[in-house]
Structure 1
Amino acid sequence: MTALVTGGGTGIGRAISQALARLGHPVAVVYSRSADDAQATVDAITTAGGEARAFRADVTDEASVRATAADVRAALGPVTVLVNNAGGTEHIPLTDLDAATDEIFERLFRLNTLSAWHCVTACAEDLRAADDGCVVNVGSASVDSGRGSSVPYVVSKAALSGLTRALANALAPVRVNEVWPGLVITRWWAGKEEQGRKLATSAIVGRETTVEDVAAAVVGFVTSRAITGQTLTVDGGATL
């Protein structure tokens, strides 16, 4: 019943890790560079009575992911819930086509799309053996609007949506779904929090979407056994 959360030490990933621990899952908090944040997340979970450990992996590298999955399996048990939350962006004005180079497209595709594929294939045997194996991909509401931090970012997250549906078929009866957060104030907004909050509160519900809101949507997918191949937008109605 182990849950593996990539990018699990900060922001949305931390909230998801803590929410899954409250469900009773031992949590593998996977990080790339944020070792201190990952350990802080583990400490918060264990202090609350849960079980968690931090594991380092480069999710863009298949060998690194497979080695980490083996370490998780040995330490916490088979992975029955996989949350592909790791990701990143390049802030490039949408109108600046020349700045969106092939290198940036390839880097973001590896980080936002191929990383999920690596994690799924590394955990596929565990997921298929589980009573209710479940994968949740963390995408972006920018796929729907076509507006985001850059064209390569939007495209890489759109590819993740295609991967979600393909895997729902390929892995069945393992369930594969995705959440699309809208504007959520995380460390990506460092130094621009007030600007972000003004934008976020323009959503029709009249308040900003929080990391806990996104985590609640992930929990819904994990616990709702009849849902697969679906996308849930979590943005307070901002994209309506």
Structure 2
Amino acid sequence: MSASSLSGKVAVILGGSGGIGLAAGEALARLGASIVLAGRDADKTASAAAALPAGNHLAAVTEIGDSASLRQLADAASHHYGRVDILVNSAGFTRAIPHADLDALDDALIDALFAINWRGPFAAIRAFAPLLRANGDGLVVNVGSIAGRTGQGSNVAYCAAKAGLDVMAMSLGRALAPDIRVLNVSPGVVDTGFVPGRDDSFNERAARATPLRRIGQAQDVADAIAACATSLRFATGTTIVVDGGRQLG
């Protein structure tokens, strides 16, 4: 089998109906993997799974912030396929709050941001680790953000949660080796509508401030995720930045 082929592999994608998650599912499916798209909205997730390249794919309703739901997803994937080889953590949420507006970033929002953007990915890895470890060649890819490095992002807590993902990759890359590799893919601004309230004018300003003179597309991030599963096989515990050079500004 070619090193670029994922035939016989099973990939679970949390946040699978979102822009990056769906693009990742399409990219991995084109390489031959069977895909489990997991999301909160049953109809949206089912439609997304039905649109994937032909294969043995599933749609699943899962709450990233609920550890029991993640364990149920792992059990369902194991029952259906008997294995899981790749876990992609692309679920997340944020809200644009000026960094100087300390009162607007209240305790409830901080807790929710960390529950979805940090605790959720960790809980998903915890739930899927036995399946990923069983094949001796498991892979976790977390979708982070350059906000975790630059401290510039939708809000302070989001930046901190994404910085936590970078540290998680280092910690778990060490702890889960050699049977499971853990990598982060860290985009800059991506044209997905992920951050509420960001419009075309924001994207145009971001493109002008990016050395490669455009913002990212979901496909850019998906290509990096696919590379983690195929060509970057001697990498673990690190973060791959896919931002067009934006963090250099």
**What TM-score results when the alignment is normalised by the length of structure 2?**
0.91
1:41 aligns with 2:48: yes
1:30 aligns with 2:38: yes
Deviation at 1:192, TM superposition (A): 4.2
Deviation sequence 1:86-132 (CA, Å, 0-9, x none): 11112211010122222222111110011111111111111111142
Q: Conserved in 1, the CA contact under 8 Å of 2:188 and 2:215?
A: no
**After the TM superposition, which of the residue ranges 129-138 and 210-219 deviates more from structure 2?**
129-138
Deviation sequence 1:57-102 (CA, Å, 0-9, x none): 1111111110111012112331110011111112211010122222
- 1 CA distance for matches of 2:204 and 2:129? 42
1:201 aligns with 2:207: yes
Deviation at 1:189, TM superposition (A): 5.2
1:182 alignment partner AA? G
Deviation at 1:196, TM superposition (A): 3.4
Q: Conserved in 1, the CA contact under 8 Å of 2:11 and 2:33?
A: yes
What residue is the counterpart of 2:157 in the other structure? 152
Q: Look up the SS of the partner of 1:149 in the other structure.
A: coil
1:222 aligns with 2:232: no
What residue is the counterpart of 2:80 in the other structure? 75
> Which segments of structure 1 move beyond 4 Å, counting only runs of 4 or more?
189-192
1:18 aligns with 2:9: no
- 2 CA distance for matches of 1:233 and 1:50? 30
1:181 aligns with 2:187: yes
- 2 CA distance for matches of 1:89 and 1:207? 22
Q: How does 1:82-161 map to 2 (within 5 A)?
A: 82-161=87-166
Q: CA RMSD in A?
A: 1.4
1:234 aligns with 2:242: yes
Q: Conserved in 2, the CA contact under 8 Å of 1:179 and 1:234?
A: yes
Q: Conserved in 2, the CA contact under 8 Å of 1:184 and 1:200?
A: no
- 1 CA distance for matches of 2:152 and 2:45? 30
- 1 CA distance for matches of 2:130 and 2:195? 37
What residue is the counterpart of 2:170 in the other structure? 165
2:100 alignment partner AA? T
Q: Conserved in 2, the CA contact under 8 Å of 1:2 and 1:77?
A: no
- 2 CA distance for matches of 1:199 and 1:77? 47
Q: Look up the SS of the partner of 1:180 in the other structure.
A: strand
Deviation sequence 1:161-219 (CA, Å, 0-9, x none): 11111110111111101011100011335664312330342211122210000000111
Q: Conserved in 2, the CA contact under 8 Å of 1:139 and 1:180?
A: yes
1:212 aligns with 2:208: no
Q: Look up the SS of the partner of 1:79 in the other structure.
A: coil
1:212 alignment partner AA? Q
Q: 1:65 to 1:44 in 2, by over 3 A?
A: same
For structure 2, list consecutive stretches of 5 or more residues without a partner in the other structure: 1-8
